[in-house]
Amino acid sequence: MKPQHQLLIVDDDTEITSLLGDYLARFNFIAHAAGDGSQMWAQLERHPIDLVVMDVMLPGTDGLQLSREIRQCSAIPVIMLTARRGIYDRIMGLENGADDYVIKPFEPRELVARIYTVLRRAKLSQEGATALLHSDVVHFDGWVLNRGERTLTSPAGLNVVLSNAEFRLLSTFLQTPRHLFSRDQLVAQARGRTMDVFDRSIDLLVSRLRQKLAQDPLAPPMIKTVRGVGYMFNVQSVQGRSAWRN
């Protein structure tokens, strides 16, 4: 049997969350429920959620804002539910980080099909990120990291010298770009076998790497700080390939 995916249904209508949860269980999904933003964050902390199904109209913070907040710190797929049928509303949902948009009322079987599609797309994205682990050369936003030679080249063609810790930290960020890393995760990756990196110095290490990647003073920092949580490598494009193809 395939492993069960865990879904989070965010809707303040408890009847909908209950009926939808029972229906999704027929397809081997484990469904959790939340009625607002605070409950959503609590469920995300409590369970390894694979996908969020979220209504746009929620008490307090609406679904569009919550989707945007999720996307700022996680790659968890989000499917928005809404009674609004306008193309502008759909565009707003997608621009705020949603992966798909389903209009109410909907057939539950259609939602299941959308869930399968979005999960499959997320899996392919994750497999692409895993492939980067085995790439000798990684290109990101005009930069080139050659893992074999341990060299970093800027978009202007300049060689940027990295310490062992900076190289390891950059490699960690490139494994899963736009993923939120806690300080503990970065410490574990940056330490290596011969290094001694402590919690209180990881911020300094990130700062040094950020400065080396800041070739354009007008551009936003490539390493984004998420206050009280950790760091995210905010790049638009990451591609890897074997060195022999250069």
Residue-range domains of the chain with CATH: 5-131 (3.40.50.2300), 133-245 (1.10.10.10)
pLDDT grade for 28, boundaries at 50, 70 and 90:
very high
Going by DSSP bridges, is the β-strand pair 78-82/100-103 parallel, antiparallel, or unpaired?
A: parallel
Q: What is the pLDDT of residues 93-128, one digit of tens each?
A: 566 667 888 888 888 899 999 899 888 877 765 555
pLDDT, position 198? 45
Please report how many Cα atoms fall inside a 13 Å half-sphere around the Cα of residue 2, on the Cβ side.
Answer: 8
Task: Say yes or no to pLDDT of 236 above 50.
Answer: yes
Quick one: average pLDDT of 1-25? 89
- Using a CB cutoff of 8 Å and minimum separation of 24, what contacts does 182-188 make? 182/229, 182/230, 183/230, 183/231, 185/230, 186/230, 186/231
This prediction has a pTM of 0.54
The half-sphere exposure of 193 on its side-chain side, counting CA atoms within 13 A, is 0
Residue 220's pLDDT band (cuts 50, 70, 90): confident
Number of H helices and E strands in the chain, helices first, is: 8, 13
pLDDT band at 242 (very low <50, low <70, confident <90, very high): very low
Using an 8 Å Cβ cutoff, are 238 and 140 in contact? yes
pLDDT of residue 195: 39
The more confident residue out of 203 and 73 is 203
Give the pairing type, strands 51-55 and 5-10: parallel
State the pLDDT at residue 90. 58
Q: For 49-57, what is the mean pLDDT?
A: 92
pLDDT band at 60 (very low <50, low <70, confident <90, very high): very high
- Per-chain mean pLDDT for the chain: 80
